[in-house]
Chains A and B, each alone.
Chain A
C-alpha cells in the first residue's frame, strides 16, 4: 500500500508528503493530519487545565493531605489508600449533604416544570403579540444574571427587618419571620431564588418543543376539539417530552454544581439547613484545608456527574454515535 503510493507520487520527490496524500485517496481534499493541526491547541489546553488536575485530584484523594497540618507536610503527604473515601462514606454529614441536595432538587424541579409548562403555553398561545414578545425576552434576563449578585439580592429581599418578602407575606396576613435565620426559612429562600433564576430556562426549553408542533396539526386539533386539555394532552405534550428529559438531566447536574447563590445567601447555614454538596466540599477544602479528604469527596461528585452526562449524551446525541 505504502510503496504503491510512494511510487505514484515519486515525481514530486518528497517522501514526507507521500503519507498524507496516500490517505487523500480516501478523503479527497485533505491530509490525514490536517484535522489534527486544527484540533491540537484546544485539545491540549483542555487536557492541561481539565484532565491533568482531575488526575492530580484522584492521586491526592489517596493521600493524607492537609496543608495546615505540619505533620502531614513533614511526612510528605503519605498515601493512605482508601482512608479518605472510607471516612467520607462513613461520615453522616456527607450523606446529609447529598440527601439535602436531593431534597432541594426534588423541591425545585416540580415547581420549575409546572411553572415552565404554564409559561411556555402562555408564550405559545396566539394573540397579544407585543406583550408575548416582551415577556419572552424578559425571561432571558434571569438566565444571564450573575449568580453571586442573585445571592445578594436574595439576602436583601429575605432580610428579617427590611426585606420585601416579609412585606409581601404581611399582605396575606402572615407574620414577619427571620427567613435566613431559621432552617425552614433559609431552605425556602434558596428554593425561591433558584425557581426565579431557572424557571425561565425550563420554560424556554418547553417553548422550543412547542414550536416544533406542525401548524396544520395544531390548527386541525383546535377545530376538532374545544378542550384545552385534549389539545395539551394529545398534541402539545408529546412535543414537550424530549425537553423534559433534557431539563431533568441538566438541572440535576446544575444542582450538584450549585454554589454561588447559596454561598452568598446562607454559607450553607443556619446549621446545615442549606449545606448543599458543593458548599460542603468547598468547606472541607478551603476552610479546613483537608485537601485529601475534599479531593475524595470531589471525585465522588465527579463520578456522579459523569454518570449523568453519559446518560445525557446517550439520550440526546444519538445521531452522532
Chain B
C-alpha cells in the first residue's frame, strides 16, 4: 500500500535504536568505568574493551565513607517517605472526599511547591536551623525534604482516592463506622496502589537531593551519598573508578524504583497536568 513499507520499518527501527542507545549510554559508560582499573580509565582514547575488575567496589566497601553515606541516605529517604505518607494520605482523603471553603487555594498551594527553587528555602532554613540547633542533623533534611515530597504524595493519593466508589463509604457509615474508620479501613487499603506510587516518588526525590544536603550538613559522618560522591571531585588525580562505582551504587536503587513506576513517571513529574 505505502511506497516501500520495508524502508519505513527499517528507518523506524534505526530511529528507536538510536534513542535507546542515547538514553542508556551515560549509564553504560558509568557502569563500565566503575569496572576499570585507574590505568584503563586514564587511557586516551578511552577503551571500550577491557578486563573488568571489582577492585573499585572492594575499595568502597573497605573504607566506611561511602557505606556510611549510603546508610545516611537510606535513613533520610525512608524517614521522609514514611512521614510524607503519614501526613499526605489523610490530607489527600480530605481533598478527595470533602467540600470546604478554601479547598482550591489549598490545592494550588500544594501544587506550587513543586516549582519553588530549593535555594529560596535553603538560605532561611540554614539560619533558622542554626539558631535552634538543628543544623547538621538528619532530622532537618527529613523535614525540608517534605516540601517537595508531601505535595506529590498528596496529589497522587488524592487522585487514587477519588477513584474509590462512594457507595462503600456510605454503607460503612450506615453500619456506624467513624470517619477515621472509613479512611483507615476502606480508603487506605483500596488506595494502596496510589500510596505505593507516591512512596516511591518520595523516596526517589529525597534520595537524589543534593543542594540542601550540601549546605545543611557539615560533619562527614552525616553526609548523604550524593554529597560524598561530589566530594570526591577535589584534588589533582581524581579516583574516577571509585567515583563511578559510588555513582552506580547511588543510581541503582532509584533506577529500579523508576522502572517499577514507569507508567506513572510523567504524571508524577507534571503533577497530573497530562492525564
Contact = CB atoms under 8 A, between A and B. Distances in A.
A285 interface: yes
B204 to A, nearest CB: 5
Interface stretch (B56-64, B123-131, B190-198): B123-131
B12 A128 contact: yes
A295 B45 contact: no
Q: Interface extent on B, as a size class?
A: 35 or more
Interface string B78-97: 00000000111011011100
Given A162-B45, A257-B119, 15 more contacts: A50-B147, A131-B13, A138-B20, A138-B24, A142-B23, A145-B208, A147-B208, A148-B226, A151-B230, A153-B27, A162-B42, A164-B46, A205-B270, A208-B266, A281-B123
A109 interface: no
Q: Which 3 residue pairs are nearest across A and B when measured between Cβ atoms?
A: A144-B258, A42-B91, A35-B98
Nearest to B24: A138
Contacts of B91: 38-39, 41-43
Contacts of A302: 116-117, 120
Contacts of A256: 117
Nearest to A256: B117
A157 B119 contact: no
A191 interface: no
A98 interface: no
Interface string A41-64: 111011011101110110010000
A141 B23 CA distance: 8
B23 to A, nearest CB: 4
A55 B12 CA distance: 54
B87 A45 contact: yes
A146 B106 CA distance: 30
A316 B273 CA distance: 6
B118 A147 contact: no
B123 A60 contact: yes
Interface string A149-186: 11111011100011110110010000000000000000
A7 interface: no
A56 B99 CA distance: 33
